[in-house]
Chain A
Amino acid sequence: MISNRLAILGALLILLAVLIIIFIRMGGKGKTEQEPLSLPPEISQSSDEQQEKRKVVLFYLSEKDALLHPEVREIYAYTSVVQEAKQTLEELLKESQSGYLSPIPPQTKLREIFLTRKGVAYVDFSKDFQVGHPSGSTAEILTIYSIVNSLAYNFKSIKKVFILIEGVEKETLGGHVNLNKPFLPQYSLIAR
Chain B
Amino acid sequence: MSGYIEVTAVFLQEFRELMRSFEKKIKLPKNSTVRDLINYIDWEIKPGFKNLVLDEKGGVKYPVEIAVNGRRIEFLDGLDTKLRDGDRVVFSPRALFVV
Do these two chains interact?
no
* Residue ranges of A at the interface with B (Cβ–Cβ < 8 Å): none
* Residue ranges of B at the interface with A (Cβ–Cβ < 8 Å): none
